[in-house]
Amino acid sequence: MTLKKNVEALRLKKAIVEKGGGDKAIEKQIAMGKLPARERIVALLDQGSFHEYDMFVEHEERNFGMDRKELPGDGVITGTGTINGAPVCIYAQDFTVMGGSLGLKHARKITKIMDHALKMKIPCIGINDSGGARIQEGIGALAGYGEIFYRNTMASGVIPQISVILGPCAGGAVYSPALTDFVFVVENISKMFITGPNVIETVLGEKISQENLGGARVHAEITGNAHFYALSEKECFEQIKTLISLIPHSNEEKAKRVEPKRPKSKKKIENIIPSDPKQPYDVRDIIHALADDSQFLEVHELWAPNIVVGFGRMDGETVGFVANQPLYLAGVLDCDASDKAARFIRYCDAFNIPIITLEDMPGYLPGVDQEHAGVIRHGAKVLYAYSEATVPKMTVILRKAYGGGYIAMNSRHLGADFMFAWPGAEIAVMGPEGAANIIFRKEIMEAEDEEAMRQQKVKEYVEKFANPFVAASKGYIDAVIEPQETRELLLHALSVSKKKDDYRPAKKHGIPPF
C-alpha cells in the first residue's frame, strides 16, 4: 500500500475507535445527562491540547464469547493535554463500551498513563464512569484494580491525583478515588458504593435507591468521600481548572505565583466578629478579608462544616487555610472535622503549601456519641498532622482557644512558626464561666447574691487568665495584634519563611493514628 492509502486506513481505524460503543450507545449516554468520554476530556482540557495514546489496545480474553467482542480502546481513553497551559495526564472510562467495565488491558492503559504522570511529575486526572470489574475476565480484572491501587499509593504526595466521578463507580473501583487527593462529584450523575442496592435488598431485605446509597450529595455531605460537589459536568470542570491553577504540579515545586491583588471584600475585618462572645459569625468572611482578591476555594465545603479548609493566595502565592467555623457547633473539633483538617494539613505539607490557621473554638465536642466514635483517636490526627508538617505554619487566635483545642490548632507547642492573637482572644484551659464555677465554687455558694458573685468571678478569671497577654508574657504568643494588622503580619511571616528548613529525625515513616 502507498503511504496515502496507509494514512487513509489509519484515519478510518481511528474514526471507528472514536465512535466508542456506537451512535446508539452515545445517544443513550447523552439521554442520561452525561457527556461522552471524549467530549469530557475536550471540555476539561485546553482547546486542541489532547493527545491520545494506546487507542488501539484490545482485550485478550477468549472465554464467554469475548473472542468475538470488539471493544474500541477497551473502554478507556488515555492521553496527555494541558489545563491553563500546564501539562496533565488524563484518562476517561467510556461507558458506551461494555459499560466502561474494567478488564486487565483496560487497567494496564490506566496504569501506563499513571506511570507516565509520575515519571514526568505532572498531575493525573481520572474520569470514572464504569459498571465495575469485567466479570468475563475474572481474576484479570481484580489484578488490574490492584495494580491501579498500588500506583495511587506510590504517587501519593508526589503528584496531585484527581478523581472525577461521572457515572457509576462501584465495588473495588471506589478504592482508587479514595486513594487520590481530590474527588469531584456531580448531582444526579455520580454514584459511589461498595455494594449495589440490589445486593443490599437481597441480603438484608432493605430497599434503597442508588442516590440515597451513594449519590453525589451523600458523599459530599455525609461520608466525606467527595471533596467538591457540582450541579453539572461543566461546573465540575471549572472547579478542577481552578484547583489545578492553585496547587503545585509535583512535590518538587511550589504552586505558580500570580500577580498579587488586594482583598476586595467590603467587610472590614475588625467588624466581622460580634462583640458578644457567644454570637456566631462566618469565618469565611475573615478569610475573604485576608486572601488576595478575596478568592477562596473551599475543600469539603459540605462535610464537617464546623471546620473550614481550602486554598487561597497571599501576595500571589498559594496558601492553605484551616479555620474553625463558629456558625456550626461553635467551631468545635469532632471526629469528622478532625479527619478533614488533618488530611488537608498533610496535603499542604506534602506539596509545599504554607498553612494559615484561624482559631476560634471552645475545644473538642463532648458527649458519649463522640467518645464511642473515637474522638480521641480522630482528634489525635490533627495533633499529628500539625506536628509533622514542615511547611511555614502561622496561627491567628481570633477569639476562643480553650483546652486541648488550643493545643491542637497549630499552637506554638506543636511547632507553629508564628503565633498571633487578637486583643479579645480568650486562651485558657476552659471557658471563663466553667472555670469560675470550679475555682470559685465556695465563694459563689456562700455569697448572698450567687449570680452577681459568679459574674464577678468570671470577670476576675478573664482578667487574670483568659486573655492573650498571659500567653504573650510566656512567649507562647509572638504578638497581640489589631485585627486590621493581620494581613500585613501574615504577609511578612510568609515572606521570611520562604527558606524555612525544619529538622526531623531520620526514620522510614511515622505511625499516624489512622
**Quick one: which of 298, 302, 331 has its CA closest to 312?**
298
**Quick one: which of 424, 408, 429, 421 has its CA closest to 476?**
421
**Quick one: which of 496, 499, 472 has its CA closest to 394?**
496
C-alpha cell at 313: 493566595
8 Å CB contact between 132 and 91: no
- C-alpha–C-alpha distance, residues 184 and 164, integer Å: 5
C-alpha cell at 324: 474553625
- C-alpha–C-alpha distance, residues 366 and 357, integer Å: 23
Q: What are residue 53's DSSP bridge partners?
A: 78
Residues 6+ apart with CB under 8 A from 83: 44, 45, 46, 240, 241, 244, 245
Checking 12-18 for CB contacts under 8 A at 24+ apart, the result is: 13/56, 14/55, 16/72, 17/55, 17/56, 17/72, 17/73, 18/72
Separation in Å, CA 317 to CA 255, 257, 342: 7, 5, 22
Q: Give the pLDDT score at 67.
A: 66
8 Å CB contact between 14 and 39: no
C-alpha cell at 67: 473472542
Average pLDDT for runs of 10 along the chain of length 514: 85 88 91 94 97 87 68 90 97 93 92 98 97 83 94 98 95 92 97 72 62 88 97 98 98 96 94 92 98 98 98 98 97 96 98 98 90 94 97 97 92 96 88 73 79 78 79 93 97 96 90 90
Q: Helices 432-439 and 450-464: crossing angle, nearest 10°?
A: 110
- C-alpha–C-alpha distance, residues 227 and 295, integer Å: 18
- C-alpha–C-alpha distance, residues 12 and 44, integer Å: 26
Dihedral over alpha carbons 164, 165, 167, 172 (to 10 degrees): 120
8 Å CB contact between 78 and 154: no
